[in-house]
């Protein structure tokens, strides 16, 4: 509208004013590259978070399912093997009972043995002979019987037969033969030195071959013993003096 040579803007109606202020959307801003990148990042993170929740949920369901399956298997196994389990339990109880009874029996036996030992000790104190002492005595007697032959000397009409004991040699047997002869033909003139000479004479002159061991028999003729005695009487004083170093070692000749 022209008024006084100028254009004058007409006043808008209420409807127009309303449309102009409220009905028309304000102009939108064009998104920038940075805003688009930020939006994509948020969407990506949201997607990742959803996937993680799904995976965790699946794992929890799996664990629960596994535990339930294991428990179910155990229950089934127990039900199927209940008879065997019961039998094993009964056998274990019986075995334990037997073991306990055996232990009590062994304890009772030990107590009985101690009582017997105490009784034997009491008997020993009063002078009774125990079985151990009897056994020891029997063993000693057996050893003595084995060590000593039944007969150590035998006399015939013409000789003496000497039997060697354990540890004896030919000199011991010659000494015994001379003793046997002099017991029946005593001669007070003979000294210990004479006896040493006589047994050595017999040892060298006797007719025996080989060594001497336990049970060996050696025969000395009576004529040989008399010959040895007669020869000893021919010794002079110097010879007899030299024989003293041997005679002092023989306990039989110092009596």
Tens digits of per-residue pLDDT, 40-53?
Answer: 778 888 888 877 77
Ranking 32-36, 76-80, 92-96, 137-141 by mean pLDDT, the lowest is 137-141
pLDDT at residue 128 tops 50: no
pTM: 0.43
When mean pLDDT is compared over 12-21, 112-121, 199-208, the highest value belongs to: 199-208
SS (H, E, C) the chain: CEECCEECCCCCCHHHHHHHHHHCCCCCCCCCHHHHHHHHHHHHHHHHHHHHHHHHHHHHHHHHHHHHHHHHHHHHHHHHCHHHHHHHHHHHHHHHHHHHHHHHHHHHHHHHHHHHHHHHHHHHHCCCCCHHHHHHHHHHHHHHHHHCCCCCEEECCCEEEEECCCCCCHHHHHHHHHHHHHHHCCCCCCCHHHHHHHHHHHHHHCCCCCCCCCCCEEEEEHHHHHHHHHHHCCCCHHHHHHCHHHHCCCHHHHC
> Tell me: the pLDDT tens digits for 136-174?
555 555 455 455 445 788 999 999 999 999 999 999 999
> Tell me: the pLDDT tens digits for 198-237?
999 999 999 888 888 899 999 999 999 999 999 999 999 9
């Amino acid at each position: 509208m022209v008024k006084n040579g100028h254009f004058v803007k007409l006043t808008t109606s209420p409807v127009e004013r309303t449309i102009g202020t409220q009905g028309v959307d304000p102009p939108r801003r064009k998104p920038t590259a940075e805003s688009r990148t930020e939006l994509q990042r948020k969407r990506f993170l949201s997607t990742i978070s959803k996937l993680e929740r799904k995976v965790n949920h699946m794992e929890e369901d799996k664990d629960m399912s596994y535990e339930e399956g294991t428990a179910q298997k155990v229950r089934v196994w127990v039900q199927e093997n209940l008879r065997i389990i019961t039998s094993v339990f009964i056998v274990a109880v019986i075995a334990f009972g037997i073991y306990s009874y055996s232990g009590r029996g062994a304890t009772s036996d030990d107590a009985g043995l101690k009582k017997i030992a105490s009784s034997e000790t009491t008997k020993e104190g009063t002078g009774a002979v125990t079985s151990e002492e009897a056994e020891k005595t029997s063993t000693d007697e057996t050893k003595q019987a084995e060590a000593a032959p039944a007969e150590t000397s035998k006399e015939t009409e013409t000789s003496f037969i000497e039997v060697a004991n354990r540890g004896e040699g030919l000199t011991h047997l010659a000494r015994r033969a001379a003793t046997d002869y002099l017991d029946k033909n005593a001669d007070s003139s003979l000294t210990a030195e004479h006896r040493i000479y006589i047994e050595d004479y017999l040892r060298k002159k006797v007719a025996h071959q080989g060594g001497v061991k336990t049970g060996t028999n050696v025969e000395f003729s009576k004529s040989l013993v008399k010959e040895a005695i007669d020869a000893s009487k021919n010794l002079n004083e110097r010879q007899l003096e030299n024989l003293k170093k041997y005679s002092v070692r023989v306990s039989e000749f110092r009596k």
